[in-house]
Structure 1
Amino acid sequence: MSGDNLRRVTTGKTMGDRLDERLTPLETVDDPRSNSGTASRDAIPESLLTSVIDDVAEGDLAVDDGLVTQSLDEILLALIALSDGGTHGTGLMEDLSQLFDAQLSPGTVYPRLHDLEADGTLTMHELVQTKQYLIEDVADAETQIERAAYRHLLVGTFLRASLDAL
């Protein structure tokens, strides 16, 4: 599936003062290049997307730690972006545990935060007993998160489409 087959849609939920948006596959009906009037096999049903969003929002999603680690930079950026006024490493580890049931060690999380800071994507402020992380380069953070979301969407779409073959 190419990027041309994706569209942004609002979920109706808000994060701060912005509507939450996500990328969803365009159905073949909406694709002018298509000659058929049926929905594409790789279109993700709205009910599946809604279910996943609800699971994430309610914290009912258990994900293998390896999958979280694979996209840890992007997940950390997203968690920091969603926090009001920044957050610290311990809070991020608690969020990872709560949202994904991921039990990552400080030796996994903190080096990633330091790398993101060294790249200029994050800024760190030393407080009395902790360090607070904030997004410094919004465009870079958005690009990283969008790329990771697209990669995961491609894998998820492939797996979803493979169910038809079973």
Structure 2
Amino acid sequence: MSGDNLRRVTTGKTMGDRADERLTPLVGSTDPTAHGSASRDAIPESLLASVIDDIADGDVAVDDGLVTQSLDEILLAMIALSDDETHGTGLMEALSRQFDAQLSPGTVYPRLHDLEADDTLTVHELVQTKQYSIDDAETAASQIEEAAYRHFVIGMFLHASLDAV
């Protein structure tokens, strides 16, 4: 893989318009139709089914450091998906339920305050708590999409490497 291809992947630029074209630098082939007998499916149905079931059941234990690396985007997604419980304590409980992540208030609240300072979140002052809501949906969606793409690229690279192990 050339350095140019690496830069394209890490900056979010794509090789093509279709997902299989964008992922080709990760699996080494420039021809998305060429598959060797030992190559893996792009995303096997069994892998997808397992991940989807685990997410739905809340059975995903993720290293706290990995959650922290994408905490802004995870918080934005949780706030966007939630009808209530968008206060700091509720969000920390949701992180625990969803990812088995035990993050401290000293980790979560500064991120919420930064997202508020960036005008991505709005804070609604209630009697004894603050509720957060998305203020800039376009920025929030862009941040979430970029994080999802980065994690997907890493996941696809790791999955493609399984044949070599």
- 1:4 pairs, out of 13, 17, 24, with 17
Q: Specify whether residues 144 and 36 from structure 1 end up closer, same or farther in structure 2 by C-alpha distance, changes over 3 A only.
A: same
Alignment of 1:84-163 (within 5 A): 84=83, 87-163=86-162
Q: Return the letter of the residue paired with 2:135.
A: E
Gaps of 5+ in 1: 8-24, 27-32
Q: How many percent identity over aligned positions?
A: 72
- What does the per-residue CA deviation read over 1:28-82, in whole Å, with 9 as the maximum and x for residues that have no partner? xxxxx64537797461112212211210110100000000000000000000000
Give the aligned partner of residue 36 of structure 1: 34
Q: Distance in 2 between matches of 1:37 and 1:62?
A: 33
| Bigger mean CA deviation after superposition, 83-92 or 105-114 | 83-92
Give the aligned partner of residue 6 of structure 2: none
- What does the per-residue CA deviation read over 1:122-144, in whole Å, with 9 as the maximum and x for residues that have no partner? 00010000000000011111000
Alignment of 1:67-86 (within 5 A): 67-84=66-83
| Partners of 2:85 and 2:91 within 8 A in 1 | no
Q: Distance in 1 between matches of 2:97 and 2:17?
A: 34
Q: Return the letter of the residue paired with 1:159.
A: L
Pick the structure with more helix per residue. Answer: 2
Greater relative contact order, per chain length (Cα 8 Å cut-off, separation 6+) = 2
Q: Distance in 2 between matches of 1:141 and 1:42?
A: 32
Q: Specify whether residues 84 and 60 from structure 1 end up closer, same or farther in structure 2 by C-alpha distance, changes over 3 A only.
A: same
Displacement over 4 Å in runs of 4+? 37-42
Gaps of 5+ in 2: 1-8, 25-30
| Partners of 1:76 and 1:92 within 8 A in 2 | yes
Q: Distance in 2 between matches of 1:78 and 1:35?
A: 35
Q: Distance in 1 between matches of 2:112 and 2:57?
A: 26
Q: How many pairs were matched up?
A: 144
| TM-score, with length taken from structure 1 | 0.78
Computed over aligned residues only, the root mean square deviation of the Cα atoms, in angstroms, reads 2.5
Q: Return the letter of the residue paired with 2:105.
A: P
Larger radius of gyration: 2
